[in-house]
Chains A and B, each alone.
Chain A
Amino acid sequence: MDLAAIFAVEILYALASLVVISSGLAVVFGMMRVINLAHGEFMMVGGYATIVAVKSGINIYIAMLIVAPIVVGVLGVIVERLIIRRLYGRLVDTMLATWGLSLLLIGLASMIFGNTTTGISPPIPGFAIGRYQVNGYSFFIILAAVAILVAMFAVLAGTRAGLVARGAMQNPAMASALGYNPERVYMLTFFAGSALAGLAGGLFAPLLGLVPTIGSAYIAKAFITVISGGASVIAGLVSSAVLFGATSQIFTLATTPMVGEIALLLIAVVLLRLLPQGITSRFFRGAM
């Protein structure tokens, strides 16, 4: 019984962390068809922003939930203005340029922070379920994932800005005909996606020791989740996070984390073979 509860929490946590890691990428890919290969490094910057803020005396929640998203969001806007904007419609070039950006950020971080691991401790202590110890912070991540999804849904479905954003993504000409500047929509979307990446980086800062190359630990999972999800931002994110989170966690619990990751990749490959446009091309079609 205790074991079952632990398993449930672990699996839920795996889903939630996939949602947190991938949400920023999902927004940018789903809405702009831009694949940001520097997504992992955006998370890394969010992590460092959190740690620097905490070490200079700011409350850890403010650092994670406010400082990190703002810092990375601003970084995102700068990147969008300087690089992404010039490459719209050139998917492959965008991937290459953001790959360059990822290397640049890694280099910059190792010059500033060095190649040593830094970290902060989780603000929530663990507790026991029966004979097993649970990481209390896991619940915070699960909560954050739910909050992110609810917020994304609320913005897209409930606000004027969300409606304009969806309109501009589907038909830029239409949006500009209605008087909205698609360039501004793109910029704001990229800001939102980057801020989400920063938030994710902040949230994971207390969990993993931070090194400049930490991005590569996230990026594969984030890509697989987003690409397999397909074009619908929220439905795609949730459906593939459920699929991959559950399977990889089951394999991880049964064997080792490495096997879990390999299982995740193999499932993704099989899935893309069956549904080249992602899960939402067949299921939940038309969902957001």
Chain B
Amino acid sequence: MNDFSHRATWAYGSAMAALILFMYLPMITMALASFSRSKYFSFPVPKYSDKWYLEVFQSLSIRDFFWTSTVVAIAVACLSTVLAFFGALAFARYDWKGRRLFQKIILLPILFPQAVLGLALLLWFTALGITPSWQATVFAHLVWIAPIATLVIAIQVYSFDPAVEEAAYDLGASRWQVMREITLPLLAPGIFSGFTFAFLLSWANFPLSMLSSGADSTIPEWVSAKLQSGYTPQVPAVGTLTILAAAVVMAFGYQISAFMKRRQVKAG
């Protein structure tokens, strides 16, 4: 169905390549800056060195920030997957009176600027006397990430045939059996995607962590603080490492979900 001339295809191809380069250029620059030997980045880099990475690996405080980011991301991923699994059923599977309203309410936090949401949450936490901590950050992330995970799983729910569940009920299966034997396995790829999305979005979040975490800083917060005072190539080195970690999670997630889909096709 490709009715484009050779020249047009070539033009669209180069536009696409330019877009991909544009999207990744800042990450490439950051990786380059992390290997610069001198403290201040200059291009072309006069001398390369891996000493900033060694410093990062030896720094106990940076290890703490990595740990906080990881704990928060795992907690957010687990909690939002559970919330989003049920939310997605309410969003897409069941017919009920409030469904249209519920769909809109789910979208609102995603459509709201995160920085302003983070500030409203700061006011809310302070008024309720909740001290900023990593637990507060988990809550703040959930407000934004659970709705996104709901949408991710809902897309899978839409392609799910309710007749399969009804058939199981007709054959005498209990509610719990249907959930365990039919609904969960069929939705597993979507649930897994929701989990991966939630983990990665929490891992990369700055605006919602900024005001909620207090002393338990995450990696993006440390980067922000260092950018304002005391840039060293440690900052791009840490940035590059977080990107590598995200890439590994993404690659694993992609492989596992491809495997799940293959298995489902075989079984179905």
The answer to whether A and B come from one shared complex is: no
